[in-house]
């Protein structure tokens, strides 16, 4: 809100400081390279040592990571990218997931939820530049690091130059490059940069990188290439495979969110010297900088990760990046999304919220608003982009670190202030001595205090010409400024109750209209305002100078809700109040805003003098014009009639679902396990090979059935499962439960011996059947380029006890996974949607499955159920048009019995629940998969790890309610049971 009061003018005083702060540096061998500003293929994207230039315009690339494959509803992609643009991002980074598009060698799919052209179109529509990152390896906490599952059966190592891997990589690039090349800026599209592989920093092979680089060229990729070193280590700075613009990744907070406020003191202070020594002709780029953190199974949960990488983290670490000279920054993640089905690697669960600026259901956070403050500053204050370091004069420099940055083209200088200890929670005062062109040496603040309050950082400007004004100095940070026609406007901010000073050059006297809490004095050509930052926004109007100036002084909380959407290439309007401002457009005398609100919202608009009408989402507001072009209005929030089924009152259908445990189950059509060797990196102890991937089954639950003839000597058997972090397995003998076993996080195998079974469960004179159900959590990645992604999912040991030579084919085995294996029976949902449960193979998860003969039950379940249990119900959701009400499914149980569950909504695998591990209990149901105006089908498959378990309470819950201008979201094709038949 604005604070109003009497208009007065009073005086102020002066102070002085000296001394300096200089960071610790690290030295590297100098790189000898000539000047280069183009890749020789296009001049639409060029660069110098400061920034990139797009279409000749210098820009700070403020980019965020977005994964289309973590949003299996393409209608939501535009909504999310509109939010990027609203936060003043000008770029988005797309990984492309090879395995998502290729279930089998030679088979590729770019339709439906895999239609990546829609992602490019969304970026074009919203005005975002695109960084393409097609790997082939991408990591991204994905199954196999993004490699397709079928690649595990490649004999040759991946990420190495050899005929087999080169052919596979080129096969992928041939398919994906068709889309990337067609969407380059050189073809009128949004793509401006293209990455070669990903974090290839260990066990490197320059021939492989050179092969990829050449393949991109062959396929028509003519935008500049980039490479993201795992850190600033100098990999592929020069030589074969080196990119046009080298950069690196950095995750200073790490990924342990269990103690979120315990920041390490590891802010980087040597990047500037590294870059000057090693790649001085290129702009400094961090292609992945920490925007959140992933959370493992049994972790503390994403609220803790957000708390660790919150808006204070953004202030301290991002501004340190700018101080070091970073001018291309991609925040990983800005929107995390959902690792649905079998897409994630074992270390992460379904939600990939990441504690990111935009939450998994698409909601704003304080960090998102902080990112907006920074991005708008970087796009507004152009001289900041062409600065070079100088050693500033600062007092208290043993506690406060200040980096001086001087523009090479104008007198402007900037001071980036932060605590030396990045984790400090202290409040410390400091002063800066600045050399100015018109006023010589100025020591500021001159009559108040300049402080850093704990985990804060500030970018302070001096000697800065903006619009028709000359800023001498400001102890408040700049959000943006704009020429409004009759006057200029600038908005500055800091934490509430902090002192502030704002000084401009004036010729002669000036008239200041301000609240009585703000003092002003003109002396020696400097007009200085002195104030405390308010709990709101205070306007100050200065007239009688070259051109009038409206100064908006805001407290930090209020500043977060100021927006400055562009209405043309160099023009913005300001609006305060809404939850989200998606766009603004000026047409004659009307400014039209679109956006979202979460409550009835009072707004203020600062616009050019010719504006006399304001609309919000197409509806004209009853706006009142105040002084100096400040309009006020109210956007009414009308509570919608939202309806959805109460699942605790719904009728559920139940069926047992593990006939595979019975000895007489017909497994004649299962694949016989008969391999004697494997391409897996996991050593095996017995034969035959019992690795499901060797037989074409790669995801979800896996069944193994082994048969042996009993003798009086056989006392039992010994099994070792190898199935990844947080996986589990259950064993039966001749239909009798033997036990269930979990593989804890940070582990990947479990050994169990079953002894003394002769005379009890083992038939010494007949055939015996072992049934094993393996609940898997994906495959490892290939971060170290050592083929770790080929780790087995199955059993490394399966031997009988009591007899000799039992390791050599003492048991005959059959293997079963998803129906069809790599030959998908459900290509619409793709290779990661379903595994090998009996119900999955028979379509029990699909809409339209005839469950009328199943038993009626209610949830929470009242009976202990053993083995696999299936529960089905239908539910309705009704959300009126014009509202965004993201929905979720929530589990609530207090049972001690261990079980795992798979959630299918309209046939889509939207979550894996582990009641014994957690932490996830709430599962996002994306609109488009979820029918928000009609009926839906919910199926839950429950695997009891203990002998029996009870499914607890399951409810539908909204995350929140927004009155919205989000674009329409079409329903995703969801084939039903009829198609499976």
pLDDT tens digits, 492-531: 999 999 999 999 999 988 999 999 999 999 999 999 999 9
What per-residue confidence (pLDDT) applies to 759?
A: 83
| % pLDDT > 70, the chain | 96
Residue 664 has pLDDT above 60, yes or no: yes
Is the model more confident about 416 or about 23?
A: 416
Query: How far from chain centre, in Å, is Cα 738?
Result: 42
Provide long-range contacts, Cβ within 8 A and 24+ apart, for 175-179.
175/101, 175/102, 175/108, 175/110, 176/96, 176/98, 176/101, 176/116, 176/134, 177/134, 177/215, 177/216, 177/219, 177/220, 177/221, 178/219, 179/110, 179/116, 179/117, 179/120
- pLDDT band at residue 25 using 50, 70 and 90 as cut-offs: very low
Q: Are strands 326-332 and 284-290 parallel, antiparallel or unpaired?
A: parallel
Q: For residue 33, name the pLDDT band (cuts at 50, 70, 90).
A: very low
- Which DSSP state fits 627? G
Distances, alpha carbon 750 to alpha carbons 689, 720, 722, 726, 741, in Å: 17, 5, 7, 11, 8
Residue 509: predicted pLDDT: 83
Q: Report whether pLDDT(28) > 70.
A: no
328 has a pLDDT exceeding 70: yes
Say yes or no to pLDDT of 219 above 70: yes
Arithmetic mean of pLDDT, 607-627 = 95
Instruction: Tell whether the model's pLDDT for residue 281 goes beyond 70.
Output: yes
Total residue length of the chain: 981
Enter the tokens of residue 148: 């397709």
Q: Note the pLDDT of residue 23.
A: 32
Segment 762-771 mean pLDDT: 96
CB-based burial, 936-952: b 16+ in 10 Å, e otherwise: bbbbbbbbbbbeebbbb
Can you give the pLDDT at residue 884?
A: 98
Which of the four pLDDT bands, split at 50, 70 and 90, describes residue 873? very high
Map tokens 């996002």 to a residue.
Answer: 924
Average pLDDT, integer, range 394-412:
97
Q: Across residues 104-123, what is the average pLDDT?
A: 98
The two three-digit tokens of residue 112, written as one number: 């439906």
What is the reported pLDDT for 446?
97
The whole-number pLDDT of residue 744 equals 82
Would you state the pLDDT for residue 808? Answer: 74
Q: To 5 degrees, how large is the angle CA 939–CA 940–CA 941?
A: 125
912 neighbors 875 (Cβ within 8 angstroms): no
pLDDT tens-digit map of 930-948: 999 999 999 999 999 999 9
Q: What are the backbone dihedrals phi and psi of residue 331, each rounded to the nearest 5 degrees, phi first?
A: -90, 120
Mean pLDDT of 34-42: 78
pLDDT at 548: 96
Nearest to 867 by CA among 777, 947, 939: 947
Confidence of residue 805 (pLDDT cuts 50, 70, 90): confident
pLDDT on residue 7: 30
pLDDT over 90, % of the chain: 93
CB-CB contact of 888 with 955 (8 Å)? no
pTM of the model: 0.95
Q: What integer pLDDT is reported at residue 32 of this predicted model?
A: 34
The 10s digit of each residue's pLDDT in 334-393 is 999 999 999 999 999 999 999 999 999 999 999 999 999 999 999 999 999 999 999 999
pLDDT for the residue 147? 98
What is the reported pLDDT for 17?
A: 27
Q: Give the DSSP per-residue string, 267-321.
A: ----HHHHHHHH-TTS-EEEEEEESS---BTTS--HHHHHHHTSHHHIIIIIHHH
For residues 428-451, give the mean pLDDT: 97
At residue 35 the predicted structure's pLDDT band, cuts being 50, 70 and 90, is low
> Could you tell me if 337 and 137 are in contact, meaning their C-beta atoms sit under 8 angstroms apart?
no
Please tell me whether residue 3 adopts helix, strand or coil conformation. coil
Q: How far apart are CA 958 and CA 138, in angstroms?
A: 33
Decide if pLDDT at 6 tops 70: no
Across 254-278, average pLDDT: 95
Mean pLDDT, residues 151-171: 98
SS3 percent helix, strand, coil of the chain, rounded to 5, is 15, 35, 50
What would the mean pLDDT of 19-39 be, rounded to a whole number?
Answer: 42
d(CA 836, CA 776): 11
Averaged pLDDT for residues 402-414:
98
Query: Which tokens in the block code for residue 636?
Result: 């009414």
pLDDT of the residue at 30: 32
Specify the pLDDT at position 636: 98
Q: Per-residue pLDDT for 12 more than 60?
A: no
Res 741 pLDDT > 80: yes
Measured CA angle at 468 (ends 460, 571), to 5 deg: 85
pLDDT at residue 427 is higher than 50: yes
429: three-class secondary structure by DSSP: strand
So which residues are the catalytic ones? 199, 288
What sections of 314-399 are H helices per DSSP? Answer: 319-324, 366-380
pLDDT tens track for 478-493: 999 999 999 999 999 9
Locate all alpha helices (DSSP H) within 721-847, ordered by sequence. 838-841
Sign of CA dihedral 53, 54, 58, 64: negative
* pLDDT, averaged across the chain: 94
Q: Are 481 and 488 in contact (CB under 8 A)?
A: yes
| Average pLDDT value for residue range 177-198 | 98
First CA to last CA distance, the chain:
61
């Amino acid at each position: 809100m604005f604070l109003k009061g009497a208009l007065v003018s009073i005086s102020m005083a002066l102070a002085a400081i000296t001394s300096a702060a200089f960071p610790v540096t690290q030295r590297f061998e100098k790189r000898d390279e000539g000047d280069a500003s183009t890749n020789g293929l296009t001049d639409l994207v060029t660069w110098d040592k400061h920034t990139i230039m797009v279409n000749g315009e210098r820009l700070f690339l403020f980019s965020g990571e977005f994964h289309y494959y973590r949003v299996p509803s393409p209608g939501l992609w535009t909504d999310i990218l509109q939010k990027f643009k609203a936060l003043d991002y000008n770029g988005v980074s797309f990984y492309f997931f090879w395995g998502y598009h290729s279930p089998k060698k030679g088979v590729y799919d770019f339709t439906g939820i895999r239609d990546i052209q829609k992602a490019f179109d969304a970026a074009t529509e919203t005005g975002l530049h695109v960084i393409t990152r097609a790997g082939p390896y991408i990591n991204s906490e994905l199954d196999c690091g993004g490699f397709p599952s079928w690649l595990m059966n490649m004999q040759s190592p991946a990420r190495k130059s050899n005929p087999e891997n080169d052919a596979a990589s080129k096969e992928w690039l041939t398919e994906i490059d068709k889309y990337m090349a067609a969407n380059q800026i050189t073809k009128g599209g949004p793509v401006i940069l293209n990455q070669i592989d990903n974090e290839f920093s260990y066990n490197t092979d320059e021939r492989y990188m050179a092969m990829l680089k050449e393949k991109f060229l062959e396929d028509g990729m003519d935008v500049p290439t980039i490479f993201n070193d795992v850190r600033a280590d100098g990999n592929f700075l020069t030589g074969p495979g080196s990119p046009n613009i080298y950069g690196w990744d950095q995750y200073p907070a790490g990924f342990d969110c269990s103690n979120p406020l315990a920041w390490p003191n590891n802010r980087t202070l040597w990047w500037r010297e590294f870059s000057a020594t090693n790649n001085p002709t290129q702009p400094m780029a961090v292609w992945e900088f920490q925007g959140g953190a992933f959370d493992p199974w049994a972790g503390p949960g994403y609220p803790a990760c957000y708390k660790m990488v919150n808006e204070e983290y953004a202030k301290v670490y991002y501004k340190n990046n700018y101080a070091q000279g970073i001018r291309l920054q991609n925040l990983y993640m800005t929107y995390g999304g959902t690792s649905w089905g079998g897409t994630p690697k074992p270390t992460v669960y379904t939600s990939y919220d990441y504690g990111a600026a935009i939450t998994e259901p698409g909601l704003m956070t304080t960090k998102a608003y902080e990112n907006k403050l920074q991005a708008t500053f970087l796009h507004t204050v152009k001289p900041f982009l062409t600065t070079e370091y100088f050693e500033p004069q600062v007092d208290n420099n043993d506690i406060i670190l200040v980096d001086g940055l001087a523009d090479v083209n104008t007198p402007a200088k900037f001071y980036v202030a932060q605590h030396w200890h990045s984790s400090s929670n202290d409040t410390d005062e400091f002063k800066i001595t600045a050399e100015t062109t018109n006023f010589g040496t100025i020591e500021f603040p001159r009559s108040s205090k300049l402080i850093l309050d704990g985990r804060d950082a500030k970018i302070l400007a001096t000697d800065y010409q903006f619009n028709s004004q000359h800023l001498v100095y400001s102890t408040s940070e700049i959000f943006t400024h704009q020429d409004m026609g009759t006057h200029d406007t600038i908005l500055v901010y800091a934490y509430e109750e902090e002192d502030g000073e704002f000084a401009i050059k004036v010729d002669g006297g000036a008239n200041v209209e301000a609240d009585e809490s703000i003092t002003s004095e003109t002396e020696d050509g400097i007009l200085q305002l002195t104030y405390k930052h308010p709990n709101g926004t205070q306007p100050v109007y200065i007239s009688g100078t070259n051109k009038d100036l409206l100064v908006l002084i805001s407290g930090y909380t209020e500043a977060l809700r100021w927006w400055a959407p562009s209405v043309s290439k160099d023009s913005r309007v300001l609006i305060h109040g809404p939850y989200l401002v998606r766009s603004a457009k000026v047409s004659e005398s009307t400014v039209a805003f679109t956006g979202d609100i979460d409550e009835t919202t009072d707004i203020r608009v600062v616009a050019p003098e010719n504006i006399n009408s304001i609309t919000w989402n197409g509806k004209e507001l009853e706006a009142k014009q105040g002084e100096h072009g400040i309009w006020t209005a109210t956007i009414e929030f009308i509570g919608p009639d939202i309806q959805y089924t109460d699942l605790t009152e719904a009728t559920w259908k139940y069926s047992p679902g593990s006939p595979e445990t019975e000895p007489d189950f017909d497994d004649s059509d299962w694949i016989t396990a008969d391999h004697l060797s494997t391409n897996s990196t996991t050593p095996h102890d017995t034969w035959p090979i019992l690795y499901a991937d060797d037989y074409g089954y790669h995801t979800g639950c896996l069944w193994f059935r082994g048969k042996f003839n009993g003798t009086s000597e056989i006392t039992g058997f010994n099994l070792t499962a190898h199935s990844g972090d947080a996986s589990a397995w259950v064993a039966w003998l001749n239909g009798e439960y033997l036990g269930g076993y979990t593989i804890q996080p940070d582990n990947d195998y479990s050994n169990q011996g079953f002894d003394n079974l002769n005379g009890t469960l083992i038939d010494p004179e007949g055939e015996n059947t072992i049934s094993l159900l393996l609940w898997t959590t994906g495959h490892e990645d290939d971060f170290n380029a050592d083929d770790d992604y080929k780790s087995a999912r199955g059993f490394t040991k399966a031997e009988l006890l009591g007899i000799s030579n039992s390791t050599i084919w003492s048991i005959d085995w059959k293997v079963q996974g998803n129906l069809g294996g790599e030959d998908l029976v459900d290509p619409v949902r793709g290779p990661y949607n379903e595994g090998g449960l009996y119900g999955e193979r028979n379509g029990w998860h699909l809409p339209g499955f005839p469950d009328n003969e199943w038993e009626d039950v209610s949830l929470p379940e009242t009976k202990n159920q053993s083995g696999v249990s299936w529960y089905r119900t239908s539910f309705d959701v009704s959300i009126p048009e014009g509202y965004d009400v993201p929905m979720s499914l929530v589990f609530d149980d207090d049972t001690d019995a261990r079980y795992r569950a798979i959630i299918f909504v309209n046939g889509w695998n939207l979550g894996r629940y582990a009641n014994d591990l957690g932490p996830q209990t709430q599962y996002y149901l994306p609109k488009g998969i979820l029918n928000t105006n009609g009926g839906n089908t919910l199926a839950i498959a429950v695997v009891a790890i203990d002998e029996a378990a009870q499914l607890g309470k399951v409810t539908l819950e909204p995350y929140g309610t927004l009155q919205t201008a989000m674009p329409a979201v079409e329903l995703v094709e969801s084939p039903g049971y009829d198609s499976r038949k």
